[in-house]
Structures are given as structure tokens and as C-alpha cells.
Amino acid sequence: MNNSWIVKNGLVIDTEPQPVVLGEVDVLVTAGRIAAVGPDLGAEGIEVIDATGMIVLPGFVDSHRHTWQAAIRAVAPDTTLGDYVAHVLGELAPRLTPDDVHAGIAAGVRECLHGGITTLLDWSHVQFTPEHTDAAVDALTASGVRAVFGFCHGGADKSLMAPEGRRIREALSGDLVSMAVAAFGPEFGDLERAAGEWRLAKELDVSVSVHMGGHGVESAGRGLDFLDAHGFLGGPRTTYIHANHYTDEHLQRIADSGGSVSVSPFSEMALAIGYPVTGRARAAGVPASLSADAVTSGPGDMFAMMRAVHALERGRADAAGLGFTTRDALRMATIEGAEVVGLAEVTGSLRVGKQADLQLLRASSPSMAGAQDLIGAVVLNADTSAVDTVLVAGRVLKRDGVLVAG
């Protein structure tokens, strides 16, 4: 399939080092990579994507998504975290067959691509058997999306976690799908298992993504102390999900260790996990990203996440969030998200040499017409209906508003 194009006549937004409107310039894609960005680029023999009336920008990055839950969308719309864990993870997840997992992830990835999300970390906690794991990996690799597969061994035999992790790490040697350890502990699960998860990540030289900091200040502090005592604070690279209860001192420790956070504004508020840590984390120098988390309890598109994080940060009771802008929200959804999932050298911006993960938004849609600030309009006014075209590694996966592959 063709992965060399020249995107012409669009209004281009880049995101690195900060979001900026470049104006009407061309984007040249050669062999799946961004070859040039500038006015009136020549590219003899390269097929043209006409972006007239469209905004061209990098694809979104979702740093934490339980993608399989697309199969049970909106099953828990008005619940708490405890009830979600009991019902969705305790009752529904164990009933899913490998085929169910494959179908859910395939549907969830299509939802991502439809909405301009070209990269996701699939936090896959339905790995009850090797067959479940293989089904999840197959659904991701067949879709064409760029993904980090968050391996979370859920089988009864804990001794299989390491060999299964090694097997998957060896299998994921392609360009589009890589691996992270999606760790249960130390705030979920037992501490012995948690230590095993971090040791596995170190052995495999992959990052860790973990739900930590969302269960009160004391629990958050104990978790960091556990990592520090075992030599895990500072390696492997760790992303803390729902990090809302960390103190400023905790966040400084995370920053000093090279850690990052994943903010899920809808689920954190709806499930009473706590007020999003967005501004405090970024002020401490901790890279912060956005995630949909679970469509069982909230929306799955990045436009909703950007609007939510923008409103919640600016609406902090102490007024400390008024410096947070739509440009900050877009950065979290693109290059900062890519940094969090370990792919900042690959995607998240239009830097020459990066993979061509792009989206084209219709600027003439009713919700976007007349926009004076393009970045503000992308964050506050656009929705998935504006996404006309999506490319991953130069491969067109959505065109004219219709998914064409995956």
C-alpha cells in the first residue's frame, strides 16, 4: 500500500516544541516518514492528498486505554472505582473468551483511528491465558495502529508471568507494536507480584505503566517508598496513572526519577478517583499525557479529553490553573503523550524524519467554521465528525471520513 504522499493546501499545526500554526504549507511524506514541511514543496511522481479546507496536524496519542472494553461500552456509566473493579474486572472480564478480547480490541482501535488517535498504550488486563494474550496482540498488529501493548499477566499461575512476558517481547519486533509491562502493583495486588513486574520490565528493557497515586495520599506515598526501597524508582521508566493524590514532594520525586503521568480526566472525576493532577505534575517537570481509560464509564475520543482537562485545570478552586491553555491541552494529546509512552522520537509532531502519523480535520464543519484561533478550535470545538483523513506511518487508514483499513 502507498505510504508516500504530499499533503497540500491545508492549514498545518505542528506541536514540537510547542503547538504552533505554520499556516498553509505542504507536508511531504516519503516511505512513511515526514520528509519535509514547507511552502510549495515539489514532489514529482508523489500522489497528492488535497487538504483544502482542512487542518493538518499530528495524530493523537492515548497513553492508557483498556481497549478491550469497547466490547462492553457504557456498561458502568454511573459508578465508583470500587464498583467498577468489582463488576467490570471481577465479574465481566473473566467471562471473555480470546475471541471476545480480539473483537473488543479490534473495535476499540477502529474507534481510535476514527477519532484521529494514531498511537495508544493498550493497557490489557484480560491476559488470563496465552490465548487471550495472542488474541490481543493479533488484534493490535492487524489494525495498522501504532501501539504499545501493555502486558498485564492475569493468569492464576504467577510463575508464568515472566516467561509469557519474554515470549511477547520477542514476538513484538515489528515497527508499529511494541511492549510495556502493565503492572498491577504495588497499590493493587500483592507486593511480591509487584516486585516481579518491575524486575520483568528491567530484564526486558521496557517501560512500566501502573495505576498508582489514585487511592489516597498515604497509599501513594507507600507505593513510591516501595519502588525506592527495591531500586525501581528511576528504572525502568514508569508512567503513573491517576496520580491525583501525590503531594508536590511526591511529584518532585517522580520528576527526578524520570517518571511521567497519564491523566484520565473523565474517569477520574466520574469514578471519584480524585481531581486530575495535570497542572501540579507539569509544574513539577513531570510530563503529562491524556487517556480515555475505559469506555465502560466515559467517552473514548481525544477531543473530549482535551476539553475536559482544559476545563478542569482552569477551573481549579485555587485559580492556579488559569495559566493552562488550549495549546497545553493539544501538547498533552500529541508530543507530550508520545514522550510519556516512549515514542517521542517516532511520533507526536511533524519533525522531519519522524513517522508520518497525521490527521486532517475539516475546518469547514459547522462546529469549526469561522475559527479565529485554529488550536483553540481543535481543542474546544472539533469532534470526531471533523476527522476526514488519518495516516499511520504514511499509510492511509481513514479517508473522506471513512475507515479504509484496519
- Is 53 in the same domain as 75? no
Specify the number of domains making up the chain. Answer: 2
Residue 158's pLDDT is: 84
- Is 175 in the same domain as 73? yes
| pLDDT band with cut points at 50, 70 and 90 for residue 44 | confident
| pLDDT band with cut points at 50, 70 and 90 for residue 2 | confident
| pLDDT band with cut points at 50, 70 and 90 for residue 45 | confident
Residue 173's pLDDT is: 72
Contact (Cβ atoms closer than 8 angstroms) between residue 327 and residue 375: yes
- Is 86 in the same domain as 222? yes
| pLDDT band with cut points at 50, 70 and 90 for residue 198 | very high
Q: Which residues pair with 288 in a beta bridge?
A: 261
Residue 154's pLDDT is: 84
What are the pLDDT digits (tens) for 214-224?
999 999 999 99
Judged against a pLDDT cut of 60, whether residue 176 lies above it is answered with: yes
- Is 161 in the same domain as 216? yes
Contacts 24+ apart (CB under 8 A), 365-368: 368/55
Quote the percentage of the chain above a pLDDT of 90: 92
- Is 323 in the same domain as 188? yes
DSSP 8-state assignment for residue 89: I
By CB atoms closer than 10 A (0-12, 13-18, 19+), residue 316 is middle
| pLDDT band with cut points at 50, 70 and 90 for residue 318 | confident
Neighbours of 342 (CB within 10 A): 19
- Is 37 in the same domain as 164? no
Mean pLDDT across 193-202 = 96
- Is 241 in the same domain as 231? yes
Listed residues 340, 361, 392: the one ending a domain: 340
- Is 232 in the same domain as 89? yes
- Does residue 80 sit in helix, strand or coil? coil
CATH number, residue 371: 2.30.40.10
Listed residues 289, 320, 340: the one ending a domain: 340
| pLDDT band with cut points at 50, 70 and 90 for residue 213 | very high
| pLDDT band with cut points at 50, 70 and 90 for residue 42 | confident
- Is 43 in the same domain as 93? no
Q: Is the peptide bond before 186 cis (omega within 30 degrees of 0)?
A: yes
| pLDDT band with cut points at 50, 70 and 90 for residue 78 | very high
Quote the percentage of the chain above a pLDDT of 70: 99
Quote the pTM value.
0.97
- Does residue 172 sit in helix, strand or coil? coil
Which residue, among 61, 4, 1, has the nearest Cα to 32 in the 3D structure? 4
Rounded distance between C-alpha atoms, residue 204 and residue 199, angstroms: 9
Task: Supply 267's cell numbers.
Answer: 474517569
CATH number, residue 131: 3.20.20.140
Rounded distance between C-alpha atoms, residue 211 and residue 239, angstroms: 8
What are the pLDDT digits (tens) for 145-166?
999 999 998 887 888 999 999 9
Rg, the chain, Cα only? 20
Mean pLDDT across 127-134 = 96
**Domain, as residue range, for 364:** 5-58+349-403
Residue 397's pLDDT is: 98
Residue 43's pLDDT is: 78
Neighbours of 367 (CB within 10 A): 13
- Is 270 in the same domain as 328? yes
Rounded distance between C-alpha atoms, residue 56 and residue 28, angstroms: 12
Sign of the alpha-carbon dihedral angle for 286, 105, 304, 370: positive
Cα 242-217-86 angle, rounded to 5 deg: 55
At a CB cut-off of 8 Å and minimum separation 6, what does 74 contact? 295, 296, 297
- Is 382 in the same domain as 249? no
Rounded distance between C-alpha atoms, residue 117 and residue 406, angstroms: 13
What are the pLDDT digits (tens) for 238-284?
999 999 999 999 999 999 999 999 999 999 999 999 999 999 999 99
Mean pLDDT across 185-199 = 91
Contact (Cβ atoms closer than 8 angstroms) between residue 88 and residue 71: no
- Is 223 in the same domain as 364? no
